[in-house]
Structure 1
Amino acid sequence: MSALPGLRAGALTAGRRSRARSSQKPVGGVTASLLLWGYAAVALVPLLLMVASSFRSNADLISDPLGAPWPLSVASYKEAWTVGNFATYFANSLLVTCGAVALSTVVATMAAYALARGRSRIFRWLEALFLSGLMLPIHLAILPIFYLFDGMGLIDSRLGLVLMYGASGVPFSIFVLTTFFRQLPVELEEAAQLDGASTWQTFVRIMVPLVRPAVATVAVFRFVPIWNDFLFPLVLLRREEKYTLPVGLTTFFGENATNYSAVFAGLVITTVPLILLFLLATKQIVAGLTAGMTK
């Protein structure tokens, strides 16, 4: 009984210390926040100018480049979408990008699960083989890929782009997903096996939902470079009706170098899907990047 007052005093002291630590603010917190907000404002200025200029006529842009977009005009969007063939470019980019991301994500998720749970030494060798693909930039292999596709009849084929982009994204996806699968306790699979679930059912119904933030992060990080890639569509595609947005935008800019309003509209059409993707997937990206950092 005599030890209770000492314990209570110690608990009160520890409580005061914890409250003091929680009330402390990180050094430079306000300054860092101001710097980040300032950087965000500066980074948004070109984007806002691009959007504002796309709603103005070309004559207004020439006479007053920094004027307000009033009255609003969507004529430049109609011209870019129809005359500039951006509807076809947009559909091609969506088909190639979504197909490649889906292919690489599905293959990498299954491979990462097998590598994370495999106990044989051969799985370590296979993992090292996959990760070695991170050391070679895919653009350095443009000539071998071109000759390979030429022999396979995949030149001027959107399917060829899907296969190439999907294969190039597998090493990075495996690198991320293998780490997440290894953080999951093996007891989950043992409990599923006791309940009569097969390996495939355990993988699809239990393991994949648990690594969903990581899968979303991998998908987003693969979507952006594929959507913005210019070199491979330029080299591997021949006909304009199969061009993706970066190549189509370059062609449109060359034909409308002085039609600034239509060019800005084309830039907005190319940029908006990426902005929407990050706005919709921000929570999943943050959860995927920070998973496992706290216990």
Structure 2
Amino acid sequence: MKRRPNYPAGAGSLVWLFLVGLPLYVMLGATVQSRSDYAQNGPLSFPDHFTLDNYTGAFGEGFGRYLLNTVIVTACVIAIVLLLVPPLAFAIVRSRSRLTSGVFRLFLLGLAIPAQAVIVPMFYLISKAGLYDNLIGVILPTAAFCLPISALILSGTMRDISPELFEAMAIDGAQPRQIFFRLVLPLSKGGLSTIVVFSALQAWNGFLFPLVLTQSESTKLITLGLYNFQTEHGINIPGLLAAVVLSMMPVLLVYLFARRALVQGLMGVGGK
């Protein structure tokens, strides 16, 4: 049978491409214009003179320090998640006790608690612990809110591992620790990549915890550092958008390299 072209689908694709491409064009075009040219020509104009002063000026506003702080927070959150979640997910999948099942259900209650609902007691606890205006005070609550969904994703991935593989290793005399390191972790790369990307996004884009739990310039993260482009005389839109582009590049690169494993990990949520 001869296939006829689907014109409505093609038209819809063009509309979707326009809706997605226009904001990207406006953002990237503004970053290579001077502030005066942007104010004079408008956001939709094509740059007459290309300049990279907005990108270099972002580092002059302290972007490098904010970037380093954000990298530290993100790396520590990922480390905490990778240290705690895989053994927890393995215990959830392999244990048949009611205690483990109850703990898992209690653990998942964290999915129903928004950060906004506990920010006041969180501020009190962090202050009493002497961690206010410290990166550790941002790392710990951020990692805590990443744990429930990460455990759910990774336990779903581990449930997809064939039970016959566990039985074969147990017959060969393998201990639970050996099964965990030699079987479960290598076959859970998709789920591990998923929780790494998810935790990195939560830490990198976090705003509420850095806003409430930090104060000084030395502990600012990228999400708060963007406020430096807003002054009493107006907003430096080209400089702000250049900082936004710089801030999203690391996460975009992580996603590009881990997208296949990320999709596979999300497909395994919930188990068979």
TM-score by length of 1: 0.82
- The CA distance in 2 between the partners of 1:151 and 1:125, in whole Å, is 31
- The CA distance in 2 between the partners of 1:64 and 1:130, in whole Å, is 54
- The CA distance in 1 between the partners of 2:19 and 2:143, in whole Å, is 35
Q: Quote the offset at 1:293 in angstroms.
A: 10
What secondary structure sits across from 2:231 in the alignment?
Answer: helix
For the pair shown, which has the larger CA radius of gyration, 1 or 2?
Answer: 1
Q: In the alignment, what sits opposite 2:55?
A: 77
Q: Give 1:233's aligned amino acid.
A: P
Structure 1 unmatched ranges of 5 or more: 1-22
Q: Quote the offset at 1:49 in angstroms.
A: 1.4
Q: Deviations over 1:199-245 (max 9, x none)?
A: 22221221112111112112222322321221110110121111000
- The CA distance in 2 between the partners of 1:293 and 1:247, in whole Å, is 36
**Cα distance 1:132–1:291, how it changes in 2: closer, same or farther (>3 A)?**
closer
Q: Quote the offset at 1:106 in angstroms.
A: 2.8
Alignment match of 1:268 (pick from 245, 254, 272)? 245
Note if contact 1:183-1:292 (Cα within 8 Å) is conserved in structure 2. no
Q: In the alignment, what sits opposite 1:94?
A: 71
Q: Quote the offset at 1:33 in angstroms.
A: 6.8
- The CA distance in 2 between the partners of 1:287 and 1:103, in whole Å, is 23
Q: Deviations over 1:63-97 (max 9, x none)?
A: 2123323432111111111x210001111111112
Q: In the alignment, what sits opposite 2:106?
A: 129
Note if contact 2:153-2:270 (Cα within 8 Å) is conserved in structure 1. no
- The CA distance in 2 between the partners of 1:70 and 1:140, in whole Å, is 48
- The CA distance in 1 between the partners of 2:57 and 2:211, in whole Å, is 23
Q: Give 2:56's aligned amino acid.
A: K
- The CA distance in 1 between the partners of 2:17 and 2:89, in whole Å, is 36
Q: In the alignment, what sits opposite 2:95?
A: 118
Q: Give 1:88's aligned amino acid.
A: R
Alignment match of 2:26 (pick from 42, 49, 74)? 49
Structure 1 residues 221-236: aligned runs within 5 Å: 221-236=198-213
Structure 2 unmatched ranges of 5 or more: none
**Segment of structure 1 superposing worse, 139-148 or 58-67:** 58-67
Note if contact 1:256-1:263 (Cα within 8 Å) is conserved in structure 2. no
- The CA distance in 2 between the partners of 1:216 and 1:50, in whole Å, is 29
**Cα distance 1:157–1:60, how it changes in 2: closer, same or farther (>3 A)?**
same
Alignment match of 2:163 (pick from 186, 204, 207)? 186
**Cα distance 1:249–1:195, how it changes in 2: closer, same or farther (>3 A)?**
same
Taking only the aligned residue pairs, the percentage that are identical comes to: 31
Q: In the alignment, what sits opposite 2:15?
A: 38
Q: In the alignment, what sits opposite 2:191?
A: 214
Q: In the alignment, what sits opposite 1:19?
A: none
Q: Give 1:205's aligned amino acid.
A: R
Alignment of 1:108 with 2:85, yes or no, is yes
What secondary structure sits across from 1:156 in the alignment?
Answer: coil
Note if contact 2:229-2:235 (Cα within 8 Å) is conserved in structure 1. no
Q: Deviations over 1:180-210 (max 9, x none)?
A: 2222123222322344433222212211121
What secondary structure sits across from 1:226 in the alignment?
Answer: helix
- The CA distance in 1 between the partners of 2:2 and 2:94, in whole Å, is 43
Q: In the alignment, what sits opposite 2:263?
A: 286
TM-score by length of 2: 0.89
Q: Give 1:101's aligned amino acid.
A: I
Q: Quote the offset at 1:248 in angstroms.
A: 0.7
Structure 1 residues 162-173: aligned runs within 5 Å: 162-173=139-150
Q: Give 2:47's aligned amino acid.
A: P
**Segment of structure 1 superposing worse, 72-81 or 30-39:** 30-39
**Cα distance 1:242–1:103, how it changes in 2: closer, same or farther (>3 A)?**
same
The RMSD of aligned alpha carbons is 2.7
